[in-house]
Structure 1
Amino acid sequence: MPSLGELVAPRRLGTSFRWLLGSSWTSNLGDGIALSAAPLLIASMTSSPVLVAAGAMMQYLPWLLFGLFAGSVADHHDRRRLVMIANGSRAVVVAALVVFLVTGHATVVIVLATAFVYGTAEVFADTAGSTLLPMLVRPADLGIGNARLQAGYLVANQLAGPPLGAFLFAIGSFWPFLVQILCVSLAVVLISRIARTPVPERDAAADAASVPTSTHPIREGLRWLRHNPPVRTLVLIILVFNVTWAAPWSILVLYATEHLGMGPVGYGALTTASALGGLVGIAAFGWLEKHVSFSTLMRVCLTLEVLMHLAFALTTAPAIAFAIMFGFGAYAFVWGTISTTVRQRLVPMHLQGRIASVNMVGVFGGLVIGQALGGVIAQTWGLTAPWWFAFGGSLVTLVIVWRSLSLIAAAKPVLDTADDPDPSLGDHETA
């Protein structure tokens, strides 16, 4: 029977992958702690809904402002070093906030400014970090590698981090952020153990098969995306489905407490059900990847998304809502792992950062648009109306892209000698 370490991080993925996994899980724990502690801190300083909402918006705004630039930076510098610098900057920013809290000089403005600067550093850390896995493992192992990274996000960021952050905040306002500093600092140490990642270079064969190079690096990435139908369609699907998903999710707390009558505790349990469903997706992904084609899995996941919106629009029973949310967590995890894996397999190594950043700008842009629409729709037509909007929008989108999903899953990457992971990165521990 394989050991626990072998199950979590198979030896074939290499030592560097284990350092990357440890760094990602540790960083996610710190972010999960802040996920609950930051809103609690702002709410303790002001009762203004605008200021409380502004704290949440600080998570998205840096992506819209700096996402594409961060992708270009990641494609032209040592990506491991970029993650270390960005995470180190995040630790310094939070340390400054702790000083303000301990000395009693913290204000809402300082907290919001800290959230924005921290979010900006996070853009560069996440963008560069998302490009490391394809440099460390073989294309055939990207699925299991992404699944393990997603597992850390679910367990540390969504399950363990938020309650720990709330508990620490109850002890003292600065404690969750002090622990967050320790987590992020440890993540820097762990990722420093990965061998230095060389700056990806363009390959002559890839250049001949690709579109002409633009003089501007961001424009080059956008041009490549425009001329690659599978990846372009995948990015558009993610954008549209994030719009339809975010519309009802923006008023989920009101839907749960007023429409379903669940109360604050029930609302918290509802969101936890999603993370628990994700754990089922984690356990099942290895089997699914071996026995079911990616095209079938993509169609099933998006179909379940459509049905989930319909079910939420129709139900008034909390028990059914829990079951729906549990299922959502399971298929959403599978979809996220597959879509990331497919994109990483199809994008040349020297463009991984830029295409990943375009994808993330689409994700957060879709969230902002969807949240704005959801609030207006609910205010005008009631709390179930955003679910009907999401059902109709996602259904139309699925019908349009149904045939394209098989083409996306079956697409072959442009051969690029720079795209093969360096075997030495899986064995060396330090640069």
Structure 2
Amino acid sequence: MSEPSSLGPNYRKLFGSAVAANLGDGLMSIALVWLASAVTRDALLIALIGVAGRLPWLIVSLPAGVISDRFDRRKLVAWMDVCRFVVVTALGLLVLAHQADLPTPEQLAAGAAEPAGGAVLLTALGLASFLLGCAEVLRDNTAQTLMPALVDKAQLERANGRLWAAETTMNSFVGPPLAGVLITVGLALPFLINAGLLAVSAAMVFALAGTFTAQSSMERSPRIDFKGEIAEGFGWLWNHRLIRTLAILLGLLNMLSNVALVNGVLYAQDVLGLYQGWQFGLVTTGFAVGAVAGSLTAATVSARLSPGVTLIVSITGMGGCLLLMGLAPSALLFWACAVAEGVFVVLWNVITVSLRQRLIPDHLLGRVNSVYRFFGWGTIAIGTVLGGALVNLGQPWLGRGWALRTVFLLAGAAHLALIGYAATRVNTDRIRAAEAAAAVEQQASS
């Protein structure tokens, strides 16, 4: 099992940057929704905050791919961390100014009046979520194009798996419970600490040695033809049957899972009775435990089961876990289901990310990735608003608790309905054929 140190100094720097940035993201994952739940109990309003952060995947992802293939990818990643640092610092200072006036979510649920400055905070939260989402789109799309320049293609699953493990540990295992503790001290603390972590992340990416500009960008006109270059990336993806199918599947899976998970903070509070920040942070660590296990074992599992079988098992497992989470009678069972969900999600991610890095030509990697993520992540905004709306519509008929449970049940059942579509299109034979064809094309062009 290779450690980060055996994959080279540049990989270590990227690894360190990922640890810092994802610890900050883990803090924010709790702080943002907890702040929203301290201002309003409306499921749709809370969902709209999530939508604001996901809209950039529909608006910015396609031009972001063109930019990734045009400019130094190292600098793009680092400067997006700088932009996020500015936004998070400003939001943290605003929260610091208002935090003394905020009721607890439990007080709001018991009928306390919403805070006088709530509208200002919700507006700022929505704007910050949108700006952070824009920076995240360009940063994350570009960061995935760095990996093939840092490690050998034969090591991609291992390198991606180690990176996923570190990112998930920080993002979902260390960050959320730490944020829960920090919230009890001061709601502004997770935001301000995240700002410092983003500064560290930017510095480590700036320190990467080498050239990280796609070779073909040197031959293009200085004037960017966004329409033509986006069309080139879109055309490549749409004509590649395997990558096209994976993009469609990812879009459907992300939309469905977010129908349920956007209501996670309200589910934890109103169904499971977890009204303390540290309790919510702790229950979210279930996903992280599973994700770390999935990250560290993805290469082995894929080799033993084959990639195609592993992907089908992942879809089945994700659907089954969402069904069980919707029926969970206790926080402990909910946490256990989240552990299994984390394993299946990361198995899917490690295999499909490594496939894209192996199959897509380097000069198109940024653009094709952006089109892929447009399909795969743009639907999150749809699922997010749909989840909030379904809870609000179902509550008068089902009651608060069963309205929150029903979105998990619907999402889980819909996952299982996708198995037949996926089984005939992403099997191992098609994956191996696509890898062989890509190897021939790369050899011919070298």
Counterpart residue number, 1:84 = 78
Structure 1 residues 317, 162: CA separation in 2 closer, same or farther (over 3 Å shift)?
Answer: closer
C-alpha deviation, 1:117, in angstroms: 2.1
1:389 corresponds to: 410
Alignment CA distance shift 1:276-1:178 (3 Å): same
Taking a change above 3 Å as real, the CA distance of residues 90 and 324 of structure 1, as seen in their structure-2 partners, is: closer
Distance in 2, matches of 1:7 and 1:41, equals 40
Match runs of 1:411-426 below 5 Å: 411-412=434-435, 413=438, 415-416=441-442
Q: Which moved more, 1:92-101 or 1:238-247?
A: 92-101
Offset at 1:228? 0.5
> Normalising to structure 1: TM-score of the pair?
0.82
Residue number among 217, 239, 245 corresponding to 1:227 in the alignment: 239
Q: CA deviation at 1:245?
A: 1.9
Aligned to 1:9: 4
Alignment partners' CA distance in 2, 1:313 and 1:30: 29
Q: Distance in 2 between matches of 1:99 and 1:284?
A: 41
**Any stretches of 5+ residues in structure 2 without a counterpart?**
100-116, 218-224
How far the C-alpha of 1:388 sits from its partner, in A, is 4.2
Q: Which residue of 2 aligns with 1:208?
A: none
Give matches, 1:233-312, under 5 Å: 233-253=245-265, 255=267, 261=272, 263-264=274-275, 268-312=281-325
Percent identity among equivalent residues?
28
Q: Deviations over 1:108-148 (max 9, x none)?
A: 23443333223222221111111111221122111111111
Residue 409 of structure 1 aligns with which residue? Answer: 431
Change (3 A) 1:117 1:417: farther
In structure 1, distance between residues paired with 2:17 and 2:134: 19
What letter corresponds to residue 402 of structure 1 in structure 2? Answer: A
In 2, Cα distance between the equivalents of 1:183 and 1:417? Answer: 41
Q: Which residue of 2 aligns with 1:65?
A: 59
**Whole-angstrom CA distance in 2 between matches of 1:24 and 1:288:** 24
Q: How many angstroms apart in 2 are the aligned matches of 1:349 and 1:142?
A: 14
Contact kept in structure 1, 2:2 and 2:158, CA below 8 Å: no
Q: 2:366 aligns with which of 326, 346, 353?
A: 353
Give the letter for the 1:116 counterpart: F
CA distance 1:86–1:416, shift in 2 (3 Å): same
Which residue does the alignment assign to 1:179? 193
Alpha-carbon distance between aligned partners in 2 of 1:250 and 1:334, rounded to the nearest angstrom: 22
1:39-84 residue CA offsets vs partner (Å, 9 max, x unmatched): 444555x336365444333321222211111111101111001111
Alpha-carbon spacing, 1:111–1:365, altered in 2? closer, same or farther (3 Å): closer
In the TM superposition, residue 314 of structure 1 has moved relative to its aligned partner by 5.6
- Once residues 423 and 379 of structure 2 are traced to their aligned partners in structure 1, the CA distance between those partners, rounded to angstroms, is 20
For 1:402-431, what per-residue CA distance to the aligned partner results, in whole angstroms no more than 9, with x for missing partners? 0222245322226237999xxxxxxxxxxx
Report SS of the residue matched to 2:56: helix
**1:352 partner letter:** L
**Structure-1 residue corresponding to 2:228:** 216
Task: From the superposition, tell whether residues 48 and 256 of structure 1 become closer, same or farther in structure 2 (CA, over 3 Å).
Answer: closer
Contact 1:282-1:333 at 8 Å conserved across structures: yes
How big is the shift at 1:401? Answer: 2.0
Distance between the aligned counterparts of 2:60 and 2:309, measured in 1?
Answer: 35
Aligned 8 A contact 1:78 1:196 in 2:
no
Deviation at 1:24, TM superposition (A): 1.1
Question: Residues 116 and 400 from structure 1, CA distance in 2 versus in 1: closer, same or farther, beyond 3 angstroms?
Answer: closer
Report Cα offsets for 1:373-405 as digits up to 9, x if no partner.
Answer: 434555446544434433442233210220222
- Cα distance in structure 2, aligned partners of 1:374 and 1:185: 34
Pairing of 1:150-229 with structure 2 (within 5 A): 150-202=164-216, 216-229=228-241
Instruction: Answer yes or no: is the 8 Å Cα contact 2:308–2:431 preserved in 1.
Output: yes
User: One-letter code of the match for 2:160?
Assistant: N
